[in-house]
Amino acid sequence: MIETPYLLFLGDAPDMLAAKVAIGIRDWRPENALGQLRLPGCGADLGLPDMTLAEARAAGVRTVVVGVANRGGVISPAWKKALVMALEEGFDLASGLHNLLRDEPDLRAVAEATGRALHDVRVPEVAYPIANGVKRSGKRCLAVGTDCSVGKMYTAMAMERDMRAAGLKATFRATGQTGILITGDGVPLDAVVADFMAGSIEWLTPDNDPDHWDLIEGQGSLFHISYSGVTLALIHGGQPDALILCHEPTRTHMRGLPGHALRSLAELRDTALPLARIANPACAVVGVSINTQHMTEAEARAYLDGVETETGLPATDPYRFGAQKLVAALAAI
């Protein structure tokens, strides 16, 4: 649906965490990420060529993707001028923000005048059912985190990559805007109406071959009071056979919630597993995924060794060291 390749719009993102969408596209579909467009004050840098709109057109870019996720999902007035220019220069726009491109009168007017498309991937396009809890064929794995933005999507993406490389049947199932922008398909779970959250995940992960694994993108955290309900709907709608615990050890408090201390991997296991077994009594915790981006390689390896000793589970940073340990753990259940 969304024409590739992309120019990744970073706006005035204060830091790299705010550029999560763009980073995901760069890392998992690098062939689609030709360049970045940054405004004054932007504190993020993807390491891609900085391109003007003219340069992007010369390079073959078809769509400008808003690669920034704000708290609250607002389209900043500071971005408007650049986005209007992009439409005028002949690019489509794509965004996963809560605040829709189509709801901005100026963007809508220019898009209509120029015949360009506005893709709001956050908007659910499907009338999802209410979850029925019926067991489906095939296997499902879900990454759950001690916090938001700790690497759940990367974990599932890396497992898909390594499983496919090993000749196994695996499908990444996107539940957020980045995943949908990367794969072109999925459920924008944050924007689904409450009653249909779990049903949307049943819809996303239907019956499949007995040896096929759905690798479901996690959202939020059971410990993050702003989004914990979304996480539980994902656990109960996904009916996972396997859980991967995800953690970012250098964080000092829950993202966006000063005063809320980070919980441990053991607390996550003891909280998530009984809840998952309500939907699937056979569910097991099979491994740990650590986001070691703020550690040296030696620190990372020492930390992973410690986690394996403490939890008795295989632990890796799947982005840094590969997901093979987690793939092997799935094969064992």
Q: Hey, which residues between 273 and 292 contact a second copy (CB under 8 A)? A: 274-275, 278-279
DSSP code at position 147? S
Q: Based on the shown chain and the rule CB under 8 A, indicate whether residue 233 belongs to the binding site for a second copy.
A: yes
What number of residues does the chain have? 333
Residue 293: HSE in the Cβ half-sphere, 13 Å Cα cutoff: 11
Among positive and negative, which fits the CA dihedral 192, 197, 199, 202?
positive
**Rounded to an integer, what distance in angstroms lies between the CA atom of residue 101 and that of residue 169?**
36
Among 98, 119, 140, 152, the residue binding a second copy under the rule CB under 8 A is: 98
φ/ψ of residue 175, rounded to 5: -125, 10
Minimum Å distance from CB 281 to a second copy?
10
x-or-dash string of contact with a second copy, 73-92, rule CB under 8 A: x-------------------
Among 131, 174, 245, 295, the residue binding a second copy under the rule CB under 8 A is: 131
In terms of CB distance, is 226 or 264 closer to a second copy?
226
Stretch that binds a second copy, among 74-82, 136-144, 231-239, 311-319 (CB under 8 A): 231-239
**Rounded to an integer, what distance in angstroms lies between the CA atom of residue 192 and that of residue 204?**
13
x-or-dash string of contact with a second copy, 167-196, rule CB under 8 A: ----------------------xxxxxxx-
DSSP code at position 31? G
| Residue 93, H or E segment | strand 92-95
Among 236, 247, 255, 325, the residue binding a second copy under the rule CB under 8 A is: 236
Amino acid at 55: E
Q: Based on the shown chain and the rule CB under 8 A, indicate whether residue 126 belongs to the binding site for a second copy.
A: no
In terms of CB distance, is 280 or 292 closer to a second copy?
280
In the structure encoding, which two tokens stand for residue 115, read together?
Answer: 């015949």
Residues paired with 11 in a beta bridge: 38
Stretch that binds a second copy, among 165-173, 178-186, 228-236, 301-309 (CB under 8 A): 228-236
**Rounded to an integer, what distance in angstroms lies between the CA atom of residue 274 and that of residue 281?**
9
Contacting residues toward a second copy, per CB under 8 A: 71-73, 98, 130-133, 189-195, 197-199, 222-223, 225-234, 236-237, 239, 256-257, 259-260, 271, 274-275, 278-279
